[in-house]
Amino acid sequence: MSRLLVPAAVVAGIGAPFVLDVFQIGLVTRGLTWGLVALSIWFLLRLLDQPSFGHAAFFGTGAYVAGLSVTRWQQDNVFVILALAVLVTAVVALPIALIASRLDSIGFLLVTLAFAEMLRSLALRWRVLGGSDGLVGVTRPGAGPFGIDLTDPVTYFYFALVVTAACVTGLWLVRRSSFGGVLVAIRESESRMRALGYHVGAYKVAAFLLSAAVAAVGGVLNAYLVRFVSPDDLGPLVSARGLVIVVVAGGLLTATVLVAVLLTFGEDLASSHTEHWLAVMGALYVAVALLEGIRGSLARRPSAPVPDPVQRVAGEAS
């Protein structure tokens, strides 16, 4: 099933502009940016059992760097901006990583949330960042030497698709690497990893920075999609949505992006039929969390293998 998911996602991605209108293509692109937030959360949750509720901090940082780059810094190369966003996000994420990585799951969740709220509070008051108005007039930059016109919605969709695919592939490779193996082993037993000679803290910080970088890329793509950056990009709803997508996707890498796109469509569909669409989506999330929780409970039977952290989080949520 999961093997078919990748080619199906590739075909669906490439073929989308041929069957969808411009508005719907915008929705898919939006779904991809949510997918990147979810992927960044998935990485920490799946490999290290760390549930972040503060990845909006990095999504928002990426978005603000994207906005400032074109409105204040006259930068017109999206690749330079992406690199800059990753760099600035790493600087922002480092102190959070150094503190949060020492904590257990609940402490990690609370500290990441607290830092994201601190950054949102800063963005609301700092005039350089536009205060509560955010950054307006965010235009799409050029694509450097490739001469691609990102102002075209379909071209921008393909650009976002390629960037998302690169992030998915990168995280897939990391999960399969020696480094990924070490992260899983740290998840299983930190004390044993220390006793074997691993600097557990350094690995956890490195994983956190990598995860933050993916969220920042999502923030950059989102800023140029909606052409606006708001302090809400640093808000808890961004992190909550990312976490929900991970749970709904059942911890599968490619499914995380697909679920993000489908939920974006679902939200649009629900909002066009009822003003209570948030309640509808909330009920859907609870139903999925319940189902995942039941799956997680079954996986925790003594004879079954160790439960997946994503199932465990869903189980606790339900």
Cβ 142 to other proteins shortest distance, Å: 29
Residues engaged in binding other proteins (CB under 8 A)? 173-174, 176-182, 184-185, 188-189, 191-200, 210, 305-306
- Indicate if the alpha-carbon torsion angle 61, 66, 68, 74 is positive or negative: positive
Q: Are residues 55 and 215 in contact, defined by beta-carbon separation less than 8 angstroms?
A: yes
Q: Which two tokens stand for residue 170?
A: 């990168």
Nearer to other proteins, 286 or 298 (CB): 298
- Whichever of 154 and 174 has its CB closer to other proteins, that residue is 174
Tokens of 125: 């008051």
CB 233 within 8 A of CB 135: no
Beta carbon of residue 187, minimum distance to other proteins (angstroms, whole number): 8
What is the spatial distance between Cα 242 and Cα 246, in angstroms, rounded to a whole number? Answer: 6
The smaller minimum CB distance to other proteins, of residues 63 and 217, is found at 217
Q: How distant is the alpha carbon of residue 99 from its chain centre? A: 21
Tokens of 71: 């409105």
Shortest distance in whole angstroms from residue 210 CB to other proteins: 8
Q: Please state the closest distance from residue 176 (CB atom) to other proteins, in A.
A: 5
Cα–Cα distance for residue pair 93/223, rounded to 1 Å: 19
- Nearest CB to other proteins, comparing residues 16 and 86: 86
Nearer to other proteins, 125 or 194 (CB): 194
- Residue 142 — φ and ψ, nearest 5°? -80, 175
Is 207 or 258 the residue whose CB approaches other proteins more closely? 207
Task: Give the nearest distance from C-beta 104 to other proteins in angstroms.
Answer: 17
At closest approach, how far in Å is the CB of 4 from other proteins?
22
How far apart are alpha carbons 56 and 45 in whole angstroms? 15
Which DSSP letter does residue 231 get? G
